[in-house]
Amino acid sequence: MKLGLFLRLAWSNIRKNHQLYVPHILAGAGLTAIFYVMQTLANDDRLRKIKGGYAIPSIMIIGLTVVAILSVILVLFTNSFLMKQRTREYGMYNVLGMEKRHVGCIMFLESAISTVILLVAGILAGMLIYKLCCLFICKMLQVETILGFYMKAEFVLKTVGAFAAMYLLAFLWNCIRLARLRPVELLASAGAGEKEPKTKWIMLIIGLLTLGTGYFIALTTESPLRAIPDFFTAVILVIIGTYALFLAGSVAFLKLLRRNKGFYYRRKNMIAVSDLLYRMKQNAVGLASIAILATGVIVMISTTVCLYMGTEATIRNYFLEGRADMYVGGLYVWDEKTPDGDAIPERHSGQIPEEVLRSLTEQVVGKYGAEVESFIRVRSFSDSLCFTDGKADLVRLRSTLTSLPKGTIDVVILPLEDYNRLCKDNLVLKDNEIGWVALSDDSGNLTKVLPSEISFGGKAYTLGPEVKHIPIMRNEAFTDGYYGLVVPAMDDIDSIVTDLYQPSEGGWTYYITSYRYYVSLKGTEEIAARDGVKDGRRQSYWEFGDLVAEYLKTLDTPETGEHIDATAWETSWALRDELLGMYGSLFFLGILLSLVFLFATALIIYYKQISEGYDDRGRFQILQKVGMTQKETKGTIRRQIVIVFFLPLVTAVIHMIVAYPVIRKLLLLLMMPNDNLFLLCTACTVVAFALIYMVIYRLTARTYYRIVR
């Protein structure tokens, strides 16, 4: 009987407060759906089996963690807003004679009803969205569509359990607030004015310093290798700076405006400035959060889209600007020793002669109806070097990631013979001459960087002629310069390498040069289509591995058979699977996370509009009584709202502009060299985000004007 009454009351409360509950339920359902989708994506075995799909689960697990954390924050945030708005009502029940436990009972029923609705809606939506996701992923990875619904009670239960727990937590928190509630205070405090915000000087200074430092780091990072640690430092500094400046900087700025009498006592400025002062006090945290979330969305989408779209360019970059379709080969391993001092046979994979590799390759591709057209050998040694007084020193990258010595350059060294074949050149070098080429004009002329006499592997060389562009070079320098060097013979490389790498004590000494045979094929499309997938890799990869193993067994030193991994078999079609899989999953994760971020943004804006709406209604009426026309009043209010609304967007765009160079360098680490593509992706993302943001604003502004009117 009583329960029935309470149930009815709870239900009618939810309906009466639909302005608060609809977004609460929508946000909850949205989060539930995305959580469910990610959970299922992380565990769906069918996805693992499609080519390129093996990257999805591990990437989705990262996403799941982020979504879980954000969900907790957002659930508590919506709950606290809901509670704040409804405290008066609960207090009124108390005044009208309900005991607190009765109010608690109604509260429980309300949150139970809304939670059940949002969970059911969320799971159903999640199942639907999951289906769409599968279609989307298959499209993205360019594989055949997986059909049928995939659902497991386990994932539903996990999702429901997680969210039910979050809402239970929120309810318990509300109970504590209810217990502390004193209705008399509540009714009395309704009309009290708010204190004028104070300028927080210390916070302002902290904000300026952190933001300034963050921007400085982002703008001055030169090396892509340094970009990783720098980027994260900068991100943290900028986040702190954004919050601090929104909180303290806005107030300080507006107060400065107010002190300027000539500016302040003007029709348009007076009301706007003092109202904004209060708006910033109430909303600074929310607005700063929006700015951060917006920046996050823009960064995620623009980079992941760019990577995904740039897949083909990256593949071309791997295979001699599209001249080759695959490469086979391996690494020379020099004097490799384990920490125990056990010697590992020298140059084991280098032992496979060219004719053997070529015939093995022909066997494999022949199976799929393709033919080898050309087989170009390229032996090379690459590392970062630092020259002091013309003598080369090795830069140990692992230990000096954050502080590369000044003047460090990246080099790729080729023997003359391989260079001439690769670049179709007829270069002639003297015995002690080195040919060189800079990656691009801005890495500089090597003769200006180095003295003309340099010592390399105990031998003196002179810098010789500038040579043609070497296509196996990466597209960007990670250090202060990037050069291709051509030495007279392979023996020169051998002695350079042995000289540079003096074995260190008790550690792995792992010195490598690589040799590769770039292969161009006739019938690439056929082989790409017919080459199947096994254990996440193309069939041809395993077949080639088997052939190499078989060959190695025929050799005298059987232990070399364990080192097949040192033998590379990389094809453009397999790389495409891999890149599409990885970048596609990242892109997809970017979209899902952006959705969550957008939910958060929309919620903050919506709740901001509602709470401001109630405040502004009073102000609106007073202004009209004092003698402003309705039009003028609306004008000033709209202007303020637009300023408050655009502030985070503008901040996000500025953050993005500053972060642009660092992010570009990070993309280089991921072998994404296409500059214009990233610019285009960023621009499109910003525009798209601004549009979505505007839609969110429009929708929420309607509610606002309804309240104010």
Partner 1 sequence: MAILEVSNLKKIYTTRFGGNKVQALSNVTFSVEKGEYVAIMGESGSGKTTLLNILAALDRPTAGKVMLEGKELSGIKEAEMATFRRENLGFVFQEFNLLDTFSIRDNILLPLVLNGAKPAELESKLLPIAEELGIKDLLAKYPYEVSGGQKQRTAVARALITDPKLILADEPTGALDSKSTDDLLRVFREINAKGQTILMVTHSTKAASHASRVLFIRDGEVFHQIYRGDCTNEQLYQKISDTLTLLTTGGEQR
Judged by the rule CB under 8 A, the positions of this chain that interact with partner 1 are: 192-196, 261-262, 264-267, 270-271, 274-275, 277-278, 619, 621-623, 625-629, 632
167's tokens:
């809402």
Query: In the complex, what is the shortest distance from the CB of residue 262 to partner 1, in angstroms, rounded to a whole number?
Result: 5
Query: In the complex, what is the shortest distance from the CB of residue 185 to partner 1, in angstroms, rounded to a whole number?
Result: 16
Return the residue matching tokens 């309900």: 98
Query: In the complex, what is the shortest distance from the CB of residue 33 to partner 1, in angstroms, rounded to a whole number?
Result: 41
The dihedral over CA atoms of 173, 177, 178, 180, expressed in degrees to the nearest 10, equals 140
Q: List the one residue out of 620, 615, 606 whose CA is nearest residue 703.
A: 606
**CA-derived radius of gyration, the chain:** 32
What distance in Å separates the CA atoms of residue 235 and residue 20, rounded to the nearest whole number? 34
Query: In the complex, what is the shortest distance from the CB of residue 404 to partner 1, in angstroms, rounded to a whole number?
Result: 54
Query: In the complex, what is the shortest distance from the CB of residue 263 to partner 1, in angstroms, rounded to a whole number?
Result: 9
Cβ atoms of 413 and 380 within 8 Å: the answer is yes
Side chain identity at 652, as an amino acid letter?
A
Cβ atoms of 580 and 140 within 8 Å: the answer is yes
Burial class (CB in 10 A: 0-12, 13-18, 19+), 158: middle
- Which residue's CB is nearer to partner 1, number 252 or number 473? 252
- Which residue's CB is nearer to partner 1, number 15 or number 625? 625
- Which residue's CB is nearer to partner 1, number 205 or number 622? 622
- Which residue's CB is nearer to partner 1, number 4 or number 627? 627
Beta bridge partners of 519: 326, 375
| Nearby residues of 507 by Cβ (< 8 Å), 6 or more positions away | 339
DSSP-derived 3-state class of residue 268: helix
Residue 521's alpha-carbon distances to 44, 154, 365, in angstroms, are: 36, 48, 9
DSSP-derived 3-state class of residue 175: helix
- Which residue's CB is nearer to partner 1, number 254 or number 297? 254
Beta bridge partners of 413: 381, 485
Q: How many CB atoms lie within 10 A of CB 694?
A: 14
Q: What is the largest CA-CA distance in the chain?
A: 103
- Which residue's CB is nearer to partner 1, number 194 or number 389? 194
| Nearby residues of 11 by Cβ (< 8 Å), 6 or more positions away | 113
Query: In the complex, what is the shortest distance from the CB of residue 266 to partner 1, in angstroms, rounded to a whole number?
Result: 7
Query: In the complex, what is the shortest distance from the CB of residue 643 to partner 1, in angstroms, rounded to a whole number?
Result: 15
Query: In the complex, what is the shortest distance from the CB of residue 641 to partner 1, in angstroms, rounded to a whole number?
Result: 15
Query: In the complex, what is the shortest distance from the CB of residue 162 to partner 1, in angstroms, rounded to a whole number?
Result: 42
Q: How many CB atoms lie within 10 A of CB 705?
A: 15
Query: In the complex, what is the shortest distance from the CB of residue 92 to partner 1, in angstroms, rounded to a whole number?
Result: 22
Beta bridge partners of 381: 413
Query: In the complex, what is the shortest distance from the CB of residue 196 to partner 1, in angstroms, rounded to a whole number?
Result: 6
What distance in Å separates the CA atoms of residue 616 and residue 634, rounded to the nearest whole number? 11
Side chain identity at 612, as an amino acid letter?
E
Query: In the complex, what is the shortest distance from the CB of residue 639 to partner 1, in angstroms, rounded to a whole number?
Result: 15
What distance in Å separates the CA atoms of residue 226 and residue 668, rounded to the nearest whole number? 12
Query: In the complex, what is the shortest distance from the CB of residue 250 to partner 1, in angstroms, rounded to a whole number?
Result: 15
644's tokens:
């408050």
- Which residue's CB is nearer to partner 1, number 193 or number 341? 193
- Which residue's CB is nearer to partner 1, number 557 or number 630? 630
What distance in Å separates the CA atoms of residue 388 and residue 403, rounded to the nearest whole number? 17
- Which residue's CB is nearer to partner 1, number 158 or number 255? 255
| DSSP-H helix ranges across 181-200 | 183-188
- Which residue's CB is nearer to partner 1, number 262 or number 353? 262
Side chain identity at 432, as an amino acid letter?
N
Query: In the complex, what is the shortest distance from the CB of residue 615 to partner 1, in angstroms, rounded to a whole number?
Result: 9
| DSSP-H helix ranges across 245-379 | 250-259, 261-264, 267-309, 311-318, 354-367
- Which residue's CB is nearer to partner 1, number 276 or number 582? 276
- Which residue's CB is nearer to partner 1, number 507 or number 618? 618
- Which residue's CB is nearer to partner 1, number 146 or number 270? 270
Query: In the complex, what is the shortest distance from the CB of residue 629 to partner 1, in angstroms, rounded to a whole number?
Result: 4
Which residue spans within 467-508 are E strands per DSSP? 482-487
| Nearby residues of 131 by Cβ (< 8 Å), 6 or more positions away | 149
Residue 244's alpha-carbon distances to 199, 212, 526, 700, in angstroms, are: 12, 12, 59, 26
- Which residue's CB is nearer to partner 1, number 198 or number 469? 198
Return the residue matching tokens 């302040």: 264
- Which residue's CB is nearer to partner 1, number 597 or number 620? 620
